[in-house]
Amino acid sequence: MLSRWSRKIVDKYLAFQVLRSTGGRIRDYSTDKNFSIKDEVIDGRPLYLDAQATTSLDPRVLDAMMPYMTAYYGNPHSRTHAYGWESEEAVEKARSQVASLIGADPKEVVFTSGATESNNISVKGIARFYGVKKKHVITTQTEHKCVLDSCRALEGEGFHVTYLPVQSNGLISMEELEKAITPETSLVSIMTVNNEIGVKQPVAEIGRLCKSKKVFFHTDAAQAIGKIPVDVNKMNIDLMSISGHKIYGPKGIGALYVRRKPRVRVEAIQSGGGQERGLRSGTVPTPLAVGLGAACDIASREMEYDHRWMEFLSKRLMDKIFAELPQVIRNGDPVHTYPGCINLSFAYVEGESLLMALKDVALSSGSACTSASLEPSYVLRAIGTDEDLAHSSIRFGIGRFTTIEEVDYTAEKCIKHVTRLREMSPLWEMVQEGVDIKSIKWSQH
């Protein structure tokens, strides 16, 4: 496996190729106008194509929130005066809007600070409540870190956790899931849409299986709610996590769906005044709850249009890139996926180098290149991506307000800089010459 950082090339063939490609001299890329990016100046802010990280606040959501930040500032749990009644009414309306989007009863919706808290309550709360009789939890290797860390915390408490592998397309095997379920299993937690590669798991099938085995099913739907149709009853979902800022709502608010019939019991992980059915103590922030409700209401009306827009823009982006660049790989299943999340690996290009070159576009790398560990993404590792390709991945996140011009500009810049970076790579030239890079024995220095 090649080293991630600059390699000292000692192979005579490679040295010869470098010299031959430059006419016997070493090119100074810092001064070559075809390769230098030092003189590129950003006019204004970068374009935003990182919708899986967060979304902008929809102006209509802000309009709904504003009155509760100024005039209607009462505590929704104050029952003795009009200020409290006004806020409570607004919170309950928001609860109904969230419930309507997912086909639930409003009483089954619990407001939280976000999907991370919802995931913690679900995984730890179910396991601990039923832990006297059942000590087994099932999840996948590609879950969000908060689910994986919650499972590791449970392992420290004596629980057994099965981390299901996924196939090369990112989807789980239903046969493997069924084999993993035992009489000791209390919970299966599998996310609906992956935040890194956009793969959609067969949630309805998982729900049916869990129901037949009498095992609770939790899904992290932060990347799915408001983007694809979700019905908790049709899909047999027992618990579901929701995030406000992933659907053009405010940050700091989320929700947890907890089924009432048949009743799902959860041990609260936060002590306090017993708000939200005793599952999540603490004052519900009225403006944020109103914002989440408004975002869900807008999503329920515009989901179909938004989805068609995502499909159009994602196809346009990929068509342009694939038409101009060879050796580009899409990570994850191309069919069972959310079109607004595109994860591409550009062979023989460092993802972080490409991100630096694309400084006028806000993107994310599928590789954890900014962490101290310098390890590639665990999601890409789980689907069997080579380490070099994992380090060369970029995630393009298309949102409701993304324009055609932004997609075209991003594709154009991406093509330009991938070509430039490959031209600077002797490895790329070796590949063009037909050399099998993996067959070379590299000297270690």
H or E element in which residue 12 lies: helix 12-21
Residue with tokens 């005793």: 278
Strands (DSSP E) found in 324-375: 328-330, 341-346, 361-362, 364-365
Give SS3 for 328. strand
Among residues 151, 296, 341, 369, which one is catalytic? 369
Residue whose C-alpha is closest to residue 176's, from 148, 141, 145? 141
Residue with tokens 């869900």: 296
Fill in the DSSP letter of residue 308: H
Pairing state between β 254-258 and 185-189: unpaired
Is residue 414 part of the annotated active site? The answer reads no
How far from 289 is each of 16, 250, 280, CA to CA, in Å? Answer: 64, 9, 14
Residue with tokens 């030092």: 38
The pair of structure tokens assigned to 407 is 């997609």
Residue with tokens 């994986």: 148
Residue 18 sits at the vertex; the CA angle it makes with 359 and 358, to the nearest 5 degrees, is 5
Residue 169 burial class via C-beta count within 10 angstroms: exposed 0-12, middle 13-18, buried 19 and up: middle
Give SS3 for 442. coil
R_g (Cα) of the chain, nearest Å:
25
Residue with tokens 């129901």: 211
CA–CA dist 367, 379 (Å, integer): 9
H or E element in which residue 243 lies: strand 239-243
> Which residues are part of the catalytic machinery?
369
